[in-house]
Structures are given as C-alpha cells and as structure tokens.
Amino acid sequence: MTTWAENELMARIEGDAPMGRLMREHYWVPFAQSAHLVHGDGPLPVRLFGENYAAFRAEHGQIGFLDELCPHRRASLLLGRIEGDGVRCIYHGWKIDASGRVVECPTQTVRAEQFAARVPVGHYPVQEAGGLAWVWLGGGEAPDFPVLPFADEDLYRHWVTAQVPCSWLQGLEGSIDSVHAGVLHQTWIAASLKFAEHSNLSFALAEAPTYETESTSYGLRAAALRKTSSGQKYVRITEHLLPLVTITSTGGNTPRTGAVFVISPVDDTHHVLFFGTVGPTPHSAVTLDQIAMQDPAYVPDPLDYTGLRGAREQRWGQDRSLMTDGHFTGFGRSLLEEDAAVQTSMGPIVDRSKENLSSSDVAVAHLRRLLLEALATVEAGEIPPGSALRPGGVRLPNAREMLVDEGVSWEDAVLDPLSH
Ligand code: FES
Ligand SMILES: [Fe+2]
C-alpha cells in the first residue's frame, strides 16, 4: 500500500522536491512538439517543474531554451521579437541568441561587449527526437540522448497534445494501466475495429488479461497475457523508460506500430501528455481523429490547461445525452478527453493511501515501487534505471505483441525485442 508520505514523495516535483530533482538531473525532459517550434513564430511558453521558460526556433533551425525573464530587468521574453539567431526583448532591446549569449545590450553605453559577455543567462541544451523537443535541465555537459524506437527516421508519427490539470503521476499511471482501455475507451475501441490493421485490438481487449511485470535496466516491462482458443498465449508488451516515456504495441500484423505516451511534468498539479501513434506507413501511424474519433474542429488551446469543457460542477464537460445515445463515457471528442476527465476527477494530487488496488493493478504497483527505489538509488549516490548518465547510453526496446506456445515463457520470447 502506498503511504501518504510516499505519495507526496512520488507526486511532487517543484523546487527541491526529490522526484523533480531526479527527473531534472537524470533524464531528458520533453516540452513541445517539434512542429510547434517555427522560426518567426512568437516564443513558446514552456513550464516545467514549476518554472517558466521561453523556447524559440532560431533562423538556422537551432532551438533556444531560456529562462523566461530577461536578464536585464526581468520582462518576459515571451514578448520578444525573433530576430535571426536570437530573441530581442521588447523592453530595452537586449538580444540573446539561441546558445544563451547576450549579443546586444543597447542600454550599456560603455564597453558593451565586455559587459554583455559577463551577463549570466539561464539557457539549456535541447535535442529533437521522434517529433518532440526535449531539454536537459540537469546542468553540466548534456549526456547522450537515449535511443527511442519511435524516433527511427523511417517511421511515420502523428502526435497530439493534451494539457491536463492534475499531477504528472496520474498521467503516467494512465499510460501503464492498460486494463482501463477496454472499459473507459470501449466506444473508441469499437469504432477503431473497422481499421483492418488494428484487427488484433479486438482480440487484445475482448477479455481481461492477467499481467506480469519485470524491472529492466531502463525501467519496466509489463506483459498482458490472454489465452487464445487454440491454447496459445497472446502477449502484449508495454515498455516504460523511467520516468516519462511509455510505448505499447498496437500493430496487429504490422511490426513497429504502436502508441507512445510521453509526459511533460509542468508543476505539482499539471502535466502535458504527448500522445503519439507510430508506424512504418502513413496508414499504420493512423491519425488520432481516425483512432480516437477526435472531433476535427477540436484544437487544444496551448494556454488553457483544462483540456476539458467543464469543471467538477459540469462533470468535467461530460455529455450525458451522448451517453443516452450509447456512448459509454459521454466524452466524445477524443480518448484523451476521457483520460483527462478521469485523471482530473481524482483531484490535483490523488491520495493513493486511500486506494484499494486489485490484481490487474500489478503494473501500477510495480511502477510505484520502481519510482521509490529510483529515489533511494539517487539518495545513495548511484544512478537510477534509464538515467541518461548511464555509461554506454540508454536504449528502449520496441513494444511488441506476439503469440507464444503454451509452456514457453514470454520473457524468453522477448529476449530479442528489437527484431520485431
Ligand atoms: S528588461 Fe529586457 S531589455 Fe530590459
Ligand atoms: Fe486511456
């Protein structure tokens, strides 16, 4: 059982909170879709771990990631003008380039160059991978970026962004807790069955599975096991790279097709979810409006953290008439809206000491053990699973699904995961 103290330890990420420090000091942190960083557009407001930043794409493609407030007298650089390789503050005209140097400071009339060179600017290395932009907030020289199977150059990807007003851990647990899909998302699943490439999904989700999990060098592997009528085991693997990335196979007979959940930790009570569909053909990376019935007119407002059409008093925007018409949840815009509604309904930070976990929650329970162990590992001065600081780098295997003969363990069958 999770205690209140453990709950606080896992959920809180602002300031000196140990979980926030663990994330910043050991992992690259996702903050935007690459496609949303366009040269010439205004700087992108980014919030991570309770701190505000401004990100922009410079003329030659480089991404600048700076503390939001101007080093001169603290006006927001979100108001700045993008000029060539930098951003110019509109208050007094200082210009800071994408590498974090003050390159012009017109308010300094003597020895301006020497003065500018001595001004410290909070700036952080950025890496683009798999259609997302990731930042290293851990200081020092940025470590190598992990090898992520959904970032392979030849894959097609489709990302959507959901901004959810609850703790990062509620979002992450939603990505690990695959048993909810057959209930919460059942209307979506029924609709998605018409796509042939997802034909395994019906089989995958028709009956409740048993779950087995194992710790790995990068985090956690969870297998959902179901018996087939021919006496084999159908195994669906979810891979989790601690603590922000989860991938699961949705491919049926199309290898390397899957769904990706990437959590961006905004502050103690908000997170952003990047949800991606990935595959080797445009059709296998089906767009979310196909698989999730997202209303094409629905565009999340980047400054609106609700992502939902109502607060508690409006049942988070639930449409009861839609339910009367046969929709299971009454959230018809998107399966992400269904996830956001249930996660938000728990409160900003759910009290896990009041839960009653059941046998299908084994992966969630394992994840929490892993997070607490990772905190203890760092406390002891060692490197936690999946840390970007691990010698030799980090490689996340692809998620997969397979049929395994009776008597063969799925752990043996999964030994060569990248061949799938
Ligand atoms: S506050 Fe930015 S230039 Fe003065
Ligand atoms: Fe979900």
Give yes or no for residue 75 CB within 6 A of ligand 1. yes
Q: Report all structural domains of the chain as residue ranges with CATH numbers, in order of start.
A: 29-135 (2.102.10.10), 149-419 (3.90.380.10)
**pLDDT reported for residue 373:** 98
pLDDT > 90 in the chain, percent: 67
* DSSP secondary structure string for all residues of 361-384: GHHHHHHHHHHHHHHHHHHTT-PP
Least confident segment among 187-196, 211-220, 400-409: 187-196
The length of the chain, given as a count of residues: 420
Check pLDDT > 90 for residue 382: yes
Q: Please, which residues have CB within 8 angstroms of residue 206's CB and are 6 or more apart in sequence?
A: 182
Mean pLDDT of 22-49: 96
Least confident segment among 5-19, 241-255, 356-370: 241-255
**pLDDT reported for residue 208:** 73
Give yes or no for residue 92 CB within 6 A of ligand 1. yes
Cβ-in-10-Å burial (0-12, 13-18, 19+) of 157 comes to middle
Tell me if the bond preceding 243 is cis, omega within 30° of 0: yes
CB 154 within 8 A of CB 175: no
- Measured in Å, residue 178 CA sits from the centre of ligand 2 at 7
Question: Does the model's pTM come out above 0.85?
Answer: yes
CB 254 within 8 A of CB 131: no
| 332-342 pLDDT tens trace | 877 888 999 99
Task: Classify residue 392 as left (phi > 0), alpha (psi -120 to 50) or beta.
Answer: left
**pLDDT reported for residue 419:** 37
**DSSP symbol at 254:** S
Mean pLDDT of 138-152: 96
Which band of pLDDT confidence, cut at 50, 70 and 90, is reported for residue 193?
A: low
Ligand 1 atom having least distance to the Cα of 92 = 3
Residue nearest ligand 1's atom 4 by CA: 92
Give yes or no for residue 95 CB within 6 A of ligand 1. no
Count of Cβ atoms closer than 10 Å to residue 326 Cβ: 8
pLDDT > 70 in the chain, percent: 88
Mean pLDDT of 174-181: 88
Helix (H), strand (E) at residue 184: helix 181-184
**Crossing angle for the helix pair 18-26 and 362-379, to the nearest 10 degrees:** 80
Mean pLDDT of 189-205: 57
CB 166 within 8 A of CB 343: yes
CB 364 within 8 A of CB 2: no
Check pLDDT > 60 for residue 415: no
- Measured in Å, residue 371 CA sits from the centre of ligand 1 at 41
Residue nearest ligand 1's atom 3 by CA: 92
**DSSP symbol at 138:** S
Mean pLDDT of 125-145: 97
- 270 vs 416, more confident: 270
Most ligand 1 atoms within 8 A of CB, residue of 67, 72, 104, 108 to mutate: 72
Count of Cβ atoms closer than 10 Å to residue 266 Cβ: 24
Mean pLDDT of 371-380: 98
Least confident segment among 140-154, 216-230, 340-354: 216-230
Q: What angle do CA 365, 370, 374 make, to 5 degrees?
A: 150
Instruction: Name the closest ligand to CA 108.
Output: 1
Identify any residues that bridge with 344 across adjacent strands, giving them in sequence order. Answer: none
Check pLDDT > 70 for residue 57: yes
Residue nearest ligand 1's atom 1 by CA: 73
Instruction: Name the closest ligand to CA 162.
Output: 2
Alpha carbons 215 and 371: distance in angstroms, whole number = 11
Count of Cβ atoms closer than 10 Å to residue 402 Cβ: 16
Check pLDDT > 50 for residue 198: no
Alpha carbons 176 and 24: distance in angstroms, whole number = 22
| 291-310 pLDDT tens trace | 544 444 545 554 454 568 88
Give yes or no for residue 106 CB within 6 A of ligand 1. no
Which band of pLDDT confidence, cut at 50, 70 and 90, is reported for residue 420?
A: very low
Q: Can you tell me whether residue 64 is helix, strand or coil?
A: strand
In terms of Cα–Cα distance, which of 285, 223, 218 is closest to 410?
223
In terms of Cα–Cα distance, which of 255, 268, 245 is closest to 48?
268
Average pLDDT of the chain to the nearest whole number: 88
**Crossing angle for the helix pair 168-176 and 335-345, to the nearest 10 degrees:** 130
Ligand 1 atom having least distance to the Cα of 105 = 3
**DSSP symbol at 269:** T
CB 133 within 8 A of CB 140: no
Give yes or no for residue 346 CB within 6 A of ligand 1. no
* Residue 326 C-alpha from the chain's centroid: 31
Strand 132-135 relative to strand 126-129: parallel, antiparallel, unpaired?
A: antiparallel
